[in-house]
Amino acid sequence: PSPAHAATYTPSSNPILFVHGWNSSASTWNTMISRFQADGWPSTHLRAFSYNTSQSNATTAQTVSQEVDKLLAATGATKVDIVTHSMGGLSSRYYLKNLASSGKVDRWVSLGGPNHGTSSANTCFSTACIEMRVGSTFLANLNSGDETPGSFTYGTWWSSCDGVINPADSTVLSGANNTKTACISHLALTTDATVYGQVRDYINP
């Protein structure tokens, strides 16, 4: 990186909230969090949490709101960045659209998010799964109007070899910085070193 680009933590870097996906947990983020720590982020500035992934993403959005506030309070920061995997993109987008004050979040990242639905959700039947189906009422409302509302900066990463998000380009949002990755799997979006570097540089410009 050029000297003008901070690939490592600086006092102006935001703390990061990580939101995992369906049928997963905070441990999804172990690899990525360890990389952020290696690049200088204090552990206090890296927060992952687990939640009930069968409930509505609108309910989880309330938890996201609480976690953002906890992270701001713990670090004294004015804004956080949010990094999400898979379904975590939906609750956090709901939060940004309906609950967030524009002052609390700077950048938002979706890694393999079912932003326009996935056929994989046709075979599971919890509230969250129904919301992830192509054409669901939840997604219609979430995507209505501006897909990237507010003063937040939105970025997505998607793989043509995802295997879980179908169609693979469901992740792409109008108004976002959309990046197609190499041919990697759905879970590898959280562990791939190249994706990590791109995400780090995106949220830490």
Which ranges constitute the DSSP H helices of 56-161? 57-75, 88-94, 127-131, 137-143
Give the chain's largest Cα–Cα span.
50
pLDDT, residue 2, reads 41
Q: Is residue 10 part of a domain?
A: no
pLDDT digits (tens, 9 = 90+) for 169-183: 999 999 999 999 999
Percent of the chain with pLDDT over 90: 93
Q: Given pLDDT bands bounded at 50, 70 and 90, which one contains residue 62?
A: very high
pLDDT, residue 28, reads 98
Pairing of strands 105-111, 80-85: parallel
Token output for 96: 């940004």
Whole-angstrom Cα distance, residue 125 to residue 108?
Answer: 28
Residue 3 in this model has a pLDDT that exceeds 60: no
Cβ 109 vs Cβ 156: under 8 Å: yes
- What CATH number corresponds to the domain at position 69? 3.40.50.1820
Residue 168 in this model has a pLDDT that exceeds 50: yes
Q: Is residue 163 part of a domain?
A: yes
Cβ 58 vs Cβ 28: under 8 Å: no
pLDDT digits (tens, 9 = 90+) for 113-159: 999 999 999 999 999 999 999 999 999 999 999 999 999 999 999 99
Mean pLDDT (the chain, rounded): 95
Q: Is residue 1 part of a domain?
A: no
Q: Based on DSSP, count helices (H) and strands (E) in the chain, helices before strands.
A: 6, 6
- Residue 194: name the closest of 99, 101, 100, 111 by CA: 111
Q: Is residue 197 part of a domain?
A: yes
Amino acid letter, 113: G
pLDDT, residue 6, reads 55
Q: Is residue 94 part of a domain?
A: yes
Q: Is residue 5 part of a domain?
A: no
Which ranges constitute the DSSP H helices of 76-136? 88-94, 127-131
DSSP state of 17: E
Q: Is residue 8 part of a domain?
A: no
pTM assigned to the model: 0.96
Domain of 158 in residue numbering reads as 16-203
Number of domains within the chain: 1
Q: Is residue 129 part of a domain?
A: yes
Region 77-81 average pLDDT: 97
